[in-house]
Amino acid sequence: MDRHAGVTGDNPYVGPRPFKQGQKIYGRDRAIRDLVNLLLAERVVLMYSPSGAGKTSLIQAGLIPEVERMGFVVSPRLRVNREPPPGPAPDGFNRYVHSIRSGLVTSSVDDPPDDVRELLIFDQFEEVLTIDPSDVRGRREFFEEVGRLLDHPNRRALFAIREEFLAALDPYRRHLLNSLDVRYRLDLLDARQAQDAIVKPAADQEVTFEPDAATLLANQLRTVNVLRPDGTVDSRIGPHVEPVQLQIVCERLWEVPRADPAAITVDDVHAVTASAASFVDESLGMYYAEKVAVVAGARSIPERELRHWISTHLISEQGIRLPLLDEGGEIEGMSSKVVNELVEARLIRREDATGRPFVELSHDRLVHPIVTDNKSWADANLEPWQRAAMAWDRQGLDSLLLKERDLRPAQRSATDTLTPYEEEFRLRSIKADRDARALRIARRIGVVVGVAAVVLGIVALVAWRRAAAEADRATSRQLAALAADPATPN
């Protein structure tokens, strides 16, 4: 068969984008059912999850269609990040309350009709805590207002928040119905859910995604790295799959021409690369390259600096994810705004499992694609001395400092275009080269002085020997003269 026979139908995988209303989401049936039951029974539910679990997708493509079928009126997803209206703000203006009231159905803001069951959905609710961390009063007034909105018996609410912000809600929970004690944790996909999310969208397009091919991809996406006691790294199949990574890989695989447009097989994966592992690596590497370029451009920092920060601070020499303590402000020299962009891009996530917030790569499966793509990018875009600077900053070995002719390109570089570690590497290399030159000169001078001292010593020795010989001859002449004089007494 012709492998370039093509593909069938529209791509059913959404890639890195959230699912929208009208799109089918698979692997989340249990979560949708549980949330609906909790909302019916308890009225107010707090859904929390690790970053990247797909809260927004679940809400838009799963929960909203289900509750609308049950007769609920669903307000548009409410966010607290609306900008204030232009002009001076009136006295007592609260941007959070303004955001919510602007998003509600106007006729139902204060008193919805008795025959209307309304569901309010507060998505990305952590924004109320992060937009202005110092605005304690504004947040308190906002929670009081939301509490009043939820006093109506026909009104229900779902709050969706990243789990690392749960503790920060504690001072405000008392203002809400049930104090947000009813909670639901949305986890990443397990193996069965991942299988459904891979196979069923293709089936909707009348394409058979062979189970073996789906299992290969799911297992690759679940792979984690474990550090052994001897320092080596062991790759194992972990429990979870990142929904975004799954969609990225499947979206790309769908676009690959295949022999049978009505089927996706293991051979289709191998036709692109040598193995499923290579295909996943390439797909995630392409996604990483795209996102890191976007973040660097948006925040006006050199892409090489951002790539180097990721590879140096988030990945160990052994290829293990490294957690970085997140106490606000810069994280290991990187702006919190850049870190936030990386979180939004699903490259890293925030966690708070130990009571101290930290950031790390969103999944072990990103480590190898990132390392590989960073090397390829550096080989294509950086001068040899810049690549040496990266290695020196990571390993800290002075043996990697530049010497003599290798140093000249670095000396010619404009200092205003260098990253901090490149400038330090350049200066350290220049100093080390000068020190080495001075040492060589000192050694040469030492050799010259030594040779001169030896020569002078030899000359002095020869002169001394000549003087001694002359003295001996003079003494001999005196003795001979005395012996020849008859007047000399014996």
> Which domain, by its residues, includes 311?
191-366
The predicted structure's pLDDT at residue 353: 56
Number of domains in the chain: 3
The one-letter amino acid at 209: F
Question: 272 with 251, same domain?
Answer: yes
| Spatial separation of the C-alpha atoms in residues 321 and 71, rounded to whole Å | 46
Q: Does 393 fall in a domain?
A: no
Q: Does 306 fall in a domain?
A: yes
Question: 238 with 353, same domain?
Answer: yes
| Spatial separation of the C-alpha atoms in residues 294 and 300, rounded to whole Å | 10
Q: What is the CATH number of the domain that holds 53?
A: 3.40.50.300
User: Which of 366, 388, 411 finishes a domain?
Assistant: 366
Question: 339 with 479, same domain?
Answer: no
Q: Does 296 fall in a domain?
A: yes
**Residue 225: in which H helix or E strand, if any?**
strand 223-227
| Spatial separation of the C-alpha atoms in residues 417 and 155, rounded to whole Å | 57
Question: 167 with 219, same domain?
Answer: no
| Burial group, residue 347, by CB count within 10 angstroms (0-12, 13-18, 19+) | buried
Question: 322 with 211, same domain?
Answer: yes
Q: Does 233 fall in a domain?
A: yes
Q: Does 175 fall in a domain?
A: yes
The predicted structure's pLDDT at residue 342: 95
State the average pLDDT for the chain: 84
342-351 pLDDT per residue, tens: 998 889 988 7
Q: Does 441 fall in a domain?
A: yes
Question: 89 with 220, same domain?
Answer: no
Question: 286 with 411, same domain?
Answer: no
Question: 123 with 211, same domain?
Answer: no
The predicted structure's pLDDT at residue 270: 79
The one-letter amino acid at 138: G
9-60 pLDDT per residue, tens: 789 999 888 898 999 999 999 999 999 999 999 999 999 998 889 999 999 9
98-113 pLDDT per residue, tens: 777 776 654 455 666 7
Q: Kindly report the number of other CB atoms within 10 A of residue 172's CB atom.
A: 20
What is the average per-residue pLDDT within 293-312? 94
Question: 73 with 92, same domain?
Answer: yes
User: Which of 185, 213, 239 finishes a domain?
Assistant: 185
270-288 pLDDT per residue, tens: 777 667 778 888 889 999 9
The predicted structure's pLDDT at residue 231: 77
Query: Does residue 3 surpass a pLDDT of 50?
Result: no
| DSSP string for residues in 302-330 | -HHHHHHHHHHHSB-TTS-B--EE--SS-
Question: 346 with 217, same domain?
Answer: yes
Determine the distance from the C-alpha atom of residue 274 to the mean position of all C-alpha atoms in its chain, rounded to a whole number: 27
The predicted structure's pLDDT at residue 285: 92
The residue ranking higher by pLDDT, 427 or 72, is 72
| Spatial separation of the C-alpha atoms in residues 40 and 38, rounded to whole Å | 5
147-204 pLDDT per residue, tens: 988 988 889 999 999 998 899 999 999 998 889 999 999 999 999 999 999 999 999 9
The predicted structure's pLDDT at residue 25: 97
Query: Does residue 329 surpass a pLDDT of 90?
Result: no
User: Which of 319, 343, 366 finishes a domain?
Assistant: 366
- What token pair was written down for 66? 């289900």
Query: Does residue 339 surpass a pLDDT of 50?
Result: yes
Q: Does 287 fall in a domain?
A: yes
221-271 pLDDT per residue, tens: 998 888 788 878 888 899 999 998 999 999 999 988 888 999 999 988 877
Question: 220 with 342, same domain?
Answer: yes
pLDDT bin (cut points 50, 70, 90) of residue 4 is very low
Question: 310 with 336, same domain?
Answer: yes
The predicted structure's pLDDT at residue 173: 93
- What token pair was written down for 292? 């890191």
Q: φ and ψ at 371, to 5 degrees?
A: -60, -45
The predicted structure's pLDDT at residue 210: 95
Half-sphere exposure of 217 (CA within 13 A, CB side): 38
Q: Does 14 fall in a domain?
A: no
